[in-house]
Structure 1
Amino acid sequence: MTFRKFIASIHLYLGLITGFLFFIIALSGAIYTWQPEFSRIAFHQEVKPEDQPFISISDIKNTLQKNFPEGDFRTALYRDPASAIEVLIYVPGTYYHAYLNPYSAELIHLQDMNQGWISKLKNLHRNLLLGPPGREIVHWVTLIAMIMLMTGLVIWWPYSGKPGKEKFTVKWSASPKKLNYDLHNILGFYATWILIFTIGTGIFWGFEVVRESLKEVTGENALKWDSPLSIVQAGSLNSQDEVLNKLIKDYHSRYPEAEVRINIPHKEDEAVQLSAIQPKAGINAVDFYYHDQYTGALIEGNFQNGASENRSTFSKINGLVYDIHFGSVWGMPGRILACLASLIGASLPITGFLVWWNKRKLKRKKR
C-alpha cells in the first residue's frame, strides 16, 4: 500500500466512524454562532431608549425581591441604552438570567439558563445532550476531525504536479456524482482553512494536557497573584447598597461606550468586581477593577484578572481562543466565515459518505 492510499484509508475509516457525530457538532456550532442575536429576540432584551439615568443596584434588588425572592443575586450587566440589564441569579441546581428595563426596573423576562432551545443547542454542541460522558466524546471527535482535515489536504493534492483550476472550482453543471465529489473535495478544501482554527480551539478546551503544557511554556504556573480583599468593618454591611449604587453610576459615566458588569459581594472580605467590556473588542479588551465593599475605595494589586494590558501571556491566548472559536476575532465577517465553514464541515460527512458509496457500487458493477 502506498503512503497516499494509507492516508486515504485513515481518512475514510475515521470519517465513517465519527461522521454522524461530527455532523451534529458542526451543524449545532454553525447555528450557535448566532446565539447573541437569538438570545436578544427570545429573551426580550431590546428596550426603547429613554432620556433618563439607569436604575440603581437597590432598584434591581427590590424588583428581584418582589418577583423572584428565592434567587441569589450575583451580578448585573449594564449595557447600551437600547438593551435590558442582564442579572445573574443562582438557585440550587441551576441559574437564571433576569432581564430588567434599565429605566423602570420592570422585570421583562426571567430565563432558566438550563432550559429552553438555546440551552439545548449549546449542550448539543458541547456534549451531544449526554452530560459529562458526551463532553468527552465531543473532545475526541474534535481531535479526530483535525486528523481528517490534515489527511483531506493530502488527498486533495494531485498525484503529480501542481493543482489545476479544476481543484479550486466547483463544476455545477456536472453529473450528480461529480458534483457531489466537487462539493466534498473543493468546498472541503476552502473550509479547512477556517475549520483548522475553530477545531483547534476546541481541542485546546477539550484536553487539559494541552492547556497545562501551554501554561508551562508561557510560565503561567510560576506567576504569583494577589487576592483583592475588602477590609472588614463591623456594622457597615447596611451601607453596601449605597457603595454599589455609587460604583455602577461612576463606571457607567467613565465608560459610556462600554458594557459594565458588577459583582455583588457575598463574603465579608470579598471585593466588588467591576468589568468594563468593549462589545466589539474581544475578551482580551475587558478591564477588571476591584473596590472595597464598605468604602468603595479602589483596591490595587497584581491580580490575575485585572487591567487588560497587564494580562499574562496564557490569559491572552486563552481569551484569543474564545474569540477565534466563535469567529468574533474578525468581527461580523469572522462570524459569518465561521458559520459558513461549520456548515460546510457539517456537509462533509454526508458528501464523503456518498463518494465512498458511489465508488463501492462501481466496484461491485465491475465485479
Structure 2
Amino acid sequence: MKKFEKISKLVHLWLGLTCGLLASVSGITGAMYVWQPEIVRAIDSELLVLNDGKLPTEKVILSTAKRIADQNKQLQKMFLPYREQQSISVVDKEGLTYYYHPETAKLLGGKTKAIIFFEDLLNIHRNLGIPNIGKYIVGTSSVIFFLFLLSSGLFLWWRANKKNLRKGLSIQWKAKNKKLNYDIHKSLGALFFIPLTIIAFTGGYFTYYQFYKSGFGILNTAVKSSTKIGETFNRDMAFTETSNYYYLRAIYFPSKGNDDYKYRYVNHREVTSGLRKTKEITTNRDNKIIGFSDYNSDALSEKITAQMYVFHIGEIAGFLGRILIFLSGFVPLILFITGLRFYLLRKKQK
C-alpha cells in the first residue's frame, strides 16, 4: 500500500502541474460563461429582449415564416427565441448573423461586442482557441483530470485523514506558508470533489461523445424507434408546437455539400432546471424524413448523454446548481496555485 501511495503522490504531483493548468483555464472560462445569459441579456436588451418580456408564439411563427420567404436562398441557419434571446436570429450564407424582432420581423441589428466576447470565451473553454486539435487537448485533459488527478487526490486525502475526517476539511489560517497551502489544497479538493468530478466527466463528453454513447449503450434494452424514417414531413407544421412541451428552436438549411434540412426542438425556451429534452427531424429536399430522434423514444444511452450539458453547467439543479458550478470553476486554479506553492516550498526546504 505504501508503494501505491508513493506512486499516487507522483501521479498527482505531475498531473497537477500539467493537466491542472489546463483545468484552470477551462474552469475560469466555464465559470464566467455560467452567467452568459443574464449578462448578455442585460447588456443587449434592445437586441434580445421584448419590452414586456412576453413571447406570443403565433407572431413568432409568422415572423419566422416571413424571414424564410424573404431570404430562403440566403439562409444557412435560423434560431428562434431560446434562453437569453427572445428575438429571431438568422445566419446567412456568408456566416453573418442578424437579429429580427419576433413580432414585426423588423431588423434589429447584428452581433454586438458582448455576444462576440462570450462566443470567443466559449471557444477558449472548448478548444483553447486552437483549431482542430484544441478540443482534443481540452477533452483529454478533462478525462485525465477525472480518472487520475481527482481519484489520486481523493486516495491521498483518505489515507491521511481517514481517522479524523474533520481534520481533513479544516484549514489552519494562521499556519506557516507550507502548511497553509497544504490545508487549502486538501480541504478545497475534498469539499469540491463531487462537483469537480461531474464537471470533468461531462466535459470530456463534448470531445469524445461517441465513446460516451457507446459506453452507456450497454444500458440499452431496445433499439430506438425509427418509424418516422421515410415519411413525408409537412414543413408548415415545423413552425408550430409539436406537443405540449416541444418548441421549434432552430432550422438548418441546405448548404454546400449538404442538401438536408434539420429541425431542432426543445422542451422549454427559458433557462430553467430539470432534464433537457430535445427532438430533431432531418429531411431531404423532397420533404422525406431521413433522420429522426425524440427524447421520449430514444434509447437510454441517448437520454443520459443528452443531459451532459445541463449537468456540466449546473442547470440541472437550477439557480443553486449554477452557483455551485460557478464557484467550482475557480477551484482548479486555486488547487494549481496552492499545489505548486506547496511543491516549491517543500523543494526549497529540502
TM superposition score normalised by structure 2:
0.79
Show the counterpart of 1:309. Answer: 296
Per the alignment, in what secondary structure is the counterpart of residue 179 of structure 2? helix
Q: Distance in 1 between matches of 2:30 and 2:168?
A: 28
Show the counterpart of 2:267. Answer: 277
Q: Distance in 2 between matches of 1:144 and 1:51?
A: 45
Note the aligned Cα RMSD (angstroms). 4.0
Per the alignment, in what secondary structure is the counterpart of residue 124 of structure 1? helix
Distance 1:173 1:88, change over 3 A: farther
Letter of the 1:85 counterpart? S
Q: What displacement does 1:197 show? A: 0.9
Per the alignment, in what secondary structure is the counterpart of residue 324 of structure 1? helix
Letter of the 1:20 counterpart? L
Q: Distance in 2 between matches of 1:274 and 1:2?
A: 53
> Structure 1 residue 318 and structure 2 residue 305: aligned?
yes
Distance 1:126 1:3, change over 3 A: same
Q: What displacement does 1:354 show? A: 0.4
Match of 2:343 among 356, 360, 365: 356
Per the alignment, in what secondary structure is the counterpart of residue 74 of structure 1? strand
Show the counterpart of 2:321. Answer: 334
Alignment of 1:8-19 (within 5 A): 8-19=9-20
Match of 1:261 among 249, 259, 280: 249
> Structure 1 residue 74 and structure 2 residue 77: aligned?
yes
CA contact (8 A) 1:79 1:258 kept: no
Show the counterpart of 1:117. Answer: 117
Per the alignment, in what secondary structure is the counterpart of residue 55 of structure 1? helix
Q: What displacement does 1:199 show? A: 0.4
Q: What displacement does 1:313 show? A: 0.6
Distance 1:128 1:266, change over 3 A: closer
Show the counterpart of 2:195. Answer: 194
Distance 1:188 1:272, change over 3 A: closer
CA contact (8 A) 2:172 2:183 kept: yes
CA offsets 1:16-48 (integer angstroms, 9 cap, x no match): 233322221221111122222233235431220
Q: What displacement does 1:5 show? A: 1.7
Distance 1:303 1:312, change over 3 A: farther
Per the alignment, in what secondary structure is the counterpart of residue 116 of structure 1? helix
Show the counterpart of 1:237. Answer: none
Distance 1:28 1:270, change over 3 A: closer
Deviates more, 1:354-363 or 1:270-279: 270-279
The structure that has the greater radius of gyration is 1
Q: Which runs of 5+ in 1 are unaligned?
A: 233-239
CA contact (8 A) 2:29 2:124 kept: yes
> Structure 1 residue 47 and structure 2 residue 47: aligned?
no
Distance 1:362 1:281, change over 3 A: closer
Show the counterpart of 2:87. Answer: 85
Letter of the 1:189 counterpart? A
Q: Distance in 2 between matches of 1:228 and 1:116?
A: 40
Q: What displacement does 1:362 show? A: 0.8
Q: Distance in 2 between matches of 1:24 and 1:275?
A: 32
CA contact (8 A) 1:50 1:103 kept: no
Deviates more, 1:138-147 or 1:285-294: 285-294
Q: What displacement does 1:334 show? A: 0.9
Q: Distance in 2 between matches of 1:91 and 1:220?
A: 42
Letter of the 2:346 counterpart? K
CA contact (8 A) 1:231 1:292 kept: no
Q: Distance in 2 between matches of 1:99 and 1:220?
A: 44
Per the alignment, in what secondary structure is the counterpart of residue 131 of structure 1? coil
Show the counterpart of 1:172. Answer: 173
Q: Which runs of 5+ in 2 are unaligned?
A: none
Tell me how many residue pairs correspond in the alignment.
338
Per the alignment, in what secondary structure is the counterpart of residue 276 of structure 2? helix
Q: Distance in 2 between matches of 1:291 and 1:325?
A: 31
Letter of the 1:263 counterpart? I
Show the counterpart of 1:143. Answer: 143
Distance 1:348 1:360, change over 3 A: same
CA contact (8 A) 1:78 1:259 kept: no
CA contact (8 A) 2:128 2:134 kept: yes
Show the counterpart of 2:241. Answer: 251
Q: Distance in 1 between matches of 2:48 and 2:21?
A: 35
CA contact (8 A) 2:310 2:316 kept: yes
Q: Percent identity?
A: 22
Alignment of 1:172-251 (within 5 A): 172-207=173-208, 210-214=211-215, 216-219=217-220, 223=224, 225=226, 226-227=228-229, 229-230=231-232, 243=236, 248=239, 251=241
Per the alignment, in what secondary structure is the counterpart of residue 249 of structure 2? strand
TM superposition score normalised by structure 1:
0.76
